[in-house]
Amino acid sequence: MVTLTQINPNTIEFAEKYGPIINGKMVEPINGYIDAVNSATGKVLSKIGRCGQEEIDQAVKAAREAFPGWSNTSIEERARLLNKIADVLEENQERLKMIECMETGRALHEFDPDYQLSIYQFRYFAAAMLTFYEGESRPVQNGYLITKKEPLGVCAQIIPWNVPMIMTSFKLAPALAAGNTVVLKPAEDACLSVMEFIKLAAEILPKGVINVVPGYGEEAGQSLIEHPDIDKLAFTGSVNVGRLVGKKAGEKLIPVTLELGGKSPHIVFPDVDIDQAVENAVFAFTTFNGQSCILGTRLLIHHDIYDKFVEKLIERAKQVKIGPPTERSTRIGSIINEKQGKRVLSYFEIAKNEGAKILHGGNRVTVPGHENGYFIEPTVIEAEPHMRIAQEEIFGPACTVTRWNDEDEMIKIANGVDYGLAAGIMTNNLESALNTANKLEAGSVWINSYFNFQSGAPFGGYKNSGVGREYSKEALDAYSQSKTIVAAYKLPPAGFFK
Ligand code: NAD
């Protein structure tokens, strides 16, 4: 098998263009194409379709027509096909990882865990489905009761650009396993890996079961959420667009899953080994170039070790290698695009104006040969909990540091944001760790090891971080509805209705 380090990014060949995939084949979009760009160099890699109302109508129609056949396909057969999709993803992963690295600008080494998780999603839901339909059946007076799960129908799914394959697998695997058909709208800023993967997956499934409609949010995305013939909306992205999606679901009275932003606390108790804790803290806010909803971006450090911890944090942040994303040793690559890069830098200005102190970083850096890329130093900012820099999602490699002394006060700061996606705790004291975890308003809490994703554990947010859970069996509930059938052995005697 070819390994990732053996793939030379300069030899990757792309199709000239990637139109939408509808009813099993790639078609020409009426409104033409959008450039797909290498984030670190600005070089155009290929073109993706600019879908609009016309393509969305065709895709929803194809998904609707495929639904009766797919929903009546046996669970065993659906599981077999999902495993086949996992196989294809596994076989093609090294090429897809490199494509995704070039498009997103994220450091190459990060894609090994991304793809492991994505492949696993298809295998997990193939297996989970085999036990999901257990339902309930029991005798009742003069008859029998059966409860069963049924798929919802056509699912519209919209994903962001930061982790394209993880997002694709989180959305597709449970929806398909439960017997639904799908129209997927990937992000305009990074979707070449998704297009290549769906091309392969669509060949495995009956025509129309998965359809993909790339394009801009305000065109393809908007047409999809407004379409009258969809049965479920699933969205990952920003809070503002999440609210629009939720509103549309409310108007249509269809179920919705929302995975939105985050501003996660990472809490440091005084008993930790400072070097180990600092390593975990830097990993937690710089991974994904800081462009992820789950990062530990608010470091809450106990007063007794604050000064020492912050000194070592800065020392460690200085050592993080910023470089070309396609090099294995790089730890911070390029921000997705100039607009996003400027947004990150503007937050540092906001922080200074609010009276926060930039202790390290805060600047754009130039990486030779990649002058068009937007590379940003890992940035450490001393801030008060109420400041915007400590309240809003930055989506860049930055963290705030804040001192705490009293546990109740620390919990108040930790929970004092609109978000509630994840949280981290570092301590050797199990009692402190579990007591704190119980009090945190967060969908995932990682003690002593940030990003500790475990098979089948529910993932999703409290408060503005979203509605519903993915990655776990709970996702099958989100893509199904229950039916209760009560069967009486015979009709009631004539004249019972007096
Ligand atoms: P975004 O909300 O701008 O875009 C996300 C997707 O929605 C894209 O495909 C976009 O084209 C589409 N979209 C945009 N406007 C739309 C509209 N009016 N109607 C329908 N679709 C529309 O978010 P982004 O900038 O791509 O991603 C960053 C955000 O995603 C961050 O807030 C981040 O925290 C969040 N995120 C959350 C999770 C999670 O699991 N909770 C995971 C990854 C990213």
Tell whether ligand 1 has an atom less than 6 A from the beta carbon of residue 238: yes
| Residue among 284, 261, 238, 235 at smallest CA distance from 419 | 261
Query: pTM value?
Result: 0.96
Ligand 1 pocket: which of 169, 225, 236 to mutate (most atoms <8 Å of CB)? 236
CB 445 within 8 A of CB 234: no
Q: What's the rounded mean pLDDT across residues 268-274? A: 98
Distance CA 169, CA 89 (A): 10
Residue 168, pLDDT above cutoff 80: yes
| Atom of ligand 1 minimally distant from the CA of 340 | 25
Q: What's the rounded mean pLDDT across residues 2-16? A: 77
Tell whether ligand 1 has an atom less than 6 A from the beta carbon of residue 470: no
Hey, what domains does the chain have and what are their CATH numbers?
9-260+465-484 (3.40.605.10), 265-447 (3.40.309.10)
Tell whether ligand 1 has an atom less than 6 A from the beta carbon of residue 241: yes
Q: What per-residue confidence (pLDDT) applies to 134?
A: 67
Question: In the chain, what's the furthest Cα-to-Cα distance?
Answer: 90
Q: Which residues, 6+ apart, have CB-to-CB distance to 61 below 8 Å?
A: 229
Residue 152, pLDDT above cutoff 70: yes
Distance CA 283, CA 432 (A): 23
Residue 3, pLDDT above cutoff 70: no
Distance CA 438, CA 476 (A): 26
Tell whether ligand 1 has an atom less than 6 A from the beta carbon of residue 221: yes
Residue 367 binned pLDDT confidence (cut-offs 50, 70, 90):
very high
Residue 7 binned pLDDT confidence (cut-offs 50, 70, 90):
confident
Distance CA 422, CA 434 (A): 15
Q: What's the rounded mean pLDDT across residues 342-361? A: 98
CB 134 within 8 A of CB 149: no
For the record, the structure tokens of 209 come out as 């079961």
